[in-house]
């Protein structure tokens, strides 16, 4: 397997594009994205667990009930959520897309991201549809990725190439996600494409299995969005024998998918609103996976620890505290904690109590941009990783006045 360029267009038969259609006032920021497969594709998705769901999710869920899709349309600048006419708008988005591409509206994935509860009209999307269609190209992944960005500061795209039954296959993805990110089922917008042939059932299985260890282990601020979804379109144009069951091919597909999703998780966490650091919490030695995940997520979500990481302060007591209130059943007296980065690694807590350590070395380690928080529970063999970011002045700034 190797990393390749092209994002969501790395897979054969996919084109993508993005334009500014006018939902956002800022004309230099694209606000509408399109991904298109030459042929109908197997499709799978996971959605937010928030009871308040964006109208586009309701419409997409309906469209994907047959496991087939051919296009993805997504706007930024308005979440189309808590609007009286939300479903109508989402359906119009589908209809206009289907019409422009000559496909069935039920084969369109529709998504929106932005402010919740703002009035929305279909007008800018309707008038921008021609330009959007014309923007479709094999080099259009970055334009699409820009079209779905909100407070994101960096484009998030990746693609990998791998073999399936002797055929060269690709999986690529774009993502947006910066705030309102919390580990409860699908915590951002992620669109993944692949030319691998895989049945809708196995595609859904691959996605649902993967997100439990990836997108569900990312937290920026503890707020689970109303509009999260992750979708995968698999159009089979790589020509491999269709993956219909578990086995070597499914495993290879899962590995490739995981490379894409872990990359996007790290990108999303590291680009958390206002973040200056990516935090990666690795828990080992847990009695079971559930315990490992609970501990990793609790630590990565602690506002106090996040603020300490911003200040490069090795305040490991906050790690212990977050483990203690996580609800996980752990033996506090067996916990070891280290901090690590490319500047080195330092043990700060052993058997649940502090050890002497060099504050200077700790500071040097924590001043880096990618920090590992290593927790050994010394009670078993299970492990888990969670991703997050530091809490900074800019998080407050960005969210203190988001709507204006």
Euclidean distance between the first and final Cα of the chain, in Å?
A: 44
Site string for its own copies, 9-38 (x = CB under 8 A): ------------------------------
Query: Which one among 321, 343, 382, 383 touches its own copies, defined by CB under 8 A?
Result: 321
Rank residues 103 and 307 by Cβ distance to its own copies and give the closer one.
307
CB 109 within 8 A of CB 63: yes
Nearest CA to 225 out of 404, 45, 52 is that of 52
Per CB under 8 A, 401 contacts its own copies: yes
Per CB under 8 A, 316 contacts its own copies: yes
CB 151 within 8 A of CB 398: yes
Per CB under 8 A, 310 contacts its own copies: yes
Q: Which stretch binds its own copies (CB under 8 A): 1-9, 38-46, 79-87, 162-170?
A: 79-87
Give the catalytic positions in this structure.
187
Token pair for 19: 């334009």
Q: Which stretch binds its own copies (CB under 8 A): 104-112, 144-152, 188-196, 306-314?
A: 306-314
Nearest CA to 194 out of 262, 243, 132, 142 is that of 243
Rank residues 172 and 177 by Cβ distance to its own copies and give the closer one.
177
Query: Which one among 313, 357, 364, 370 touches its own copies, defined by CB under 8 A?
Result: 313
Rank residues 52 and 201 by Cβ distance to its own copies and give the closer one.
52
CB 217 within 8 A of CB 293: yes
What is the C-alpha to C-alpha distance for residues 162 and 46, in angstroms, rounded to an integer?
24
Nearest CA to 356 out of 318, 321, 316, 320 is that of 316
Per CB under 8 A, 342 contacts its own copies: no
- Nearest approach in angstroms of CB 324 to its own copies is 3
What is the C-alpha to C-alpha distance for residues 61 and 48, in angstroms, rounded to an integer?
12
Q: Strand ranges (DSSP E) for 49-105?
A: 68-76
Per CB under 8 A, 116 contacts its own copies: yes
Rank residues 193 and 226 by Cβ distance to its own copies and give the closer one.
226
Rank residues 170 and 318 by Cβ distance to its own copies and give the closer one.
318
CB 44 within 8 A of CB 204: yes
Rank residues 342 and 397 by Cβ distance to its own copies and give the closer one.
397
Q: Which residues inside 211-250 make contact with its own copies, applying CB under 8 A?
A: 221-226
Per CB under 8 A, 96 contacts its own copies: no
Element spanning 15, H or E: strand 14-19
Q: Which stretch binds its own copies (CB under 8 A): 13-21, 150-158, 162-170, 390-398?
A: 390-398
> Rounded to the nearest 5°, which phi and psi values hold at 169?
-120, 165
Per CB under 8 A, 393 contacts its own copies: yes
Query: Which one among 82, 87, 212, 364 touches its own copies, defined by CB under 8 A?
Result: 82
Q: Which stretch binds its own copies (CB under 8 A): 62-70, 101-109, 137-145, 320-328?
A: 320-328
Specify burial of residue 347 (Cβ count, 10 A radius: 0-12, 13-18, 19+): middle
Per CB under 8 A, 276 contacts its own copies: no
What is the C-alpha to C-alpha distance for residues 190 and 335, in angstroms, rounded to an integer?
35
Element spanning 164, H or E: strand 157-164
Q: Strand ranges (DSSP E) for 177-265?
A: 189-194, 229-234
Per CB under 8 A, 360 contacts its own copies: no
Distance of CA 303 to the CA centre of its chain: 21
CB 299 within 8 A of CB 308: no
Query: Which one among 30, 53, 277, 297 touches its own copies, defined by CB under 8 A?
Result: 53
Rank residues 12 and 293 by Cβ distance to its own copies and give the closer one.
293
Alpha helices in 103-188 (DSSP H): 123-135, 141-147
Residues contributing to the site for its own copies (CB under 8 A):
49-53, 79, 81-84, 115-119, 179-180, 182, 184, 221-226, 301-304, 307-308, 310-311, 313, 315-318, 320-326, 330, 332, 349, 352-354, 391-393, 395-404
């Amino acid at each position: 397997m190797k990393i390749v360029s092209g994002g969501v267009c790395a897979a054969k038969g996919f084109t993508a594009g993005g334009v500014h259609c006018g939902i956002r006032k800022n004309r230099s920021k694209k606000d509408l994205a399109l991904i298109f497969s030459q042929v109908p594709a197997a499709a799978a998705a996971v959605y937010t667990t928030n009871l308040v769901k964006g109208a586009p999710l309701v419409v997409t869920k309906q469209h994907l009930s047959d496991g087939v899709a051919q296009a993805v349309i997504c706007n930024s600048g308005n979440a189309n959520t808590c609007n009286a006419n939300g479903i109508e708008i989402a359906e119009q988005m589908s209809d206009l897309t289907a019409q422009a591409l000559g496909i069935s509206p039920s084969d369109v994935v529709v998504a929106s991201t932005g402010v919740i509860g703002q009035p929305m009209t279909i007008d800018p999307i309707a008038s921008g549809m021609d330009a959007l269609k014309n923007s479709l190209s094999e080099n259009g992944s970055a334009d699409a990725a820009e079209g779905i960005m909100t407070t994101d500061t960096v484009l998030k795209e990746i693609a990998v190439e791998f073999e399936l039954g002797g055929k060269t296959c690709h999986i690529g993805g774009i993502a947006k996600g910066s705030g309102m990110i919390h580990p409860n089922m699908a915590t951002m917008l992620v669109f993944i494409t692949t030319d691998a042939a895989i049945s809708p059932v196995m595609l859904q299985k691959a996605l649902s299995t993967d997100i439990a260890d990836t997108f569900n282990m990312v937290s920026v601020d503890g707020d689970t969005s109303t509009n999260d979804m992750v979708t995968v379109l698999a159009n089979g144009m790589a020509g491999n024998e269709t993956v219909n069951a578990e086995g070597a091919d499914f495993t290879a597909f899962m590995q490739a998918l995981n490379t894409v999703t872990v990359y996007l998780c790290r990108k999303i966490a590291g680009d958390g609103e206002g973040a200056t650091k990516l935090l990666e919490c690795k828990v080992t030695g847990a009695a079971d996976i559930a315990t490992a995940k609970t501990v990793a997520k609790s630590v990565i979500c602690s506002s106090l620890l996040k603020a300490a990481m911003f200040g490069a302060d090795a305040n490991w007591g906050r790690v212990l505290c977050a483990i203690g209130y996580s609800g996980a059943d752990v033996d506090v007296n067996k916990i070891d904690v280290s901090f690590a980065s490319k500047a080195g690694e330092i043990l700060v807590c052993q058997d649940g109590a502090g050890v002497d350590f060099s504050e200077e070395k700790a500071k040097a380690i924590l001043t880096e941009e990618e920090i590992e928080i290593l927790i050994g529970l010394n009670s078993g063999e299970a492990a888990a990783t969670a991703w997050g970011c530091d809490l900074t002045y800019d998080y407050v700034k960005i969210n203190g006045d988001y709507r204006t």
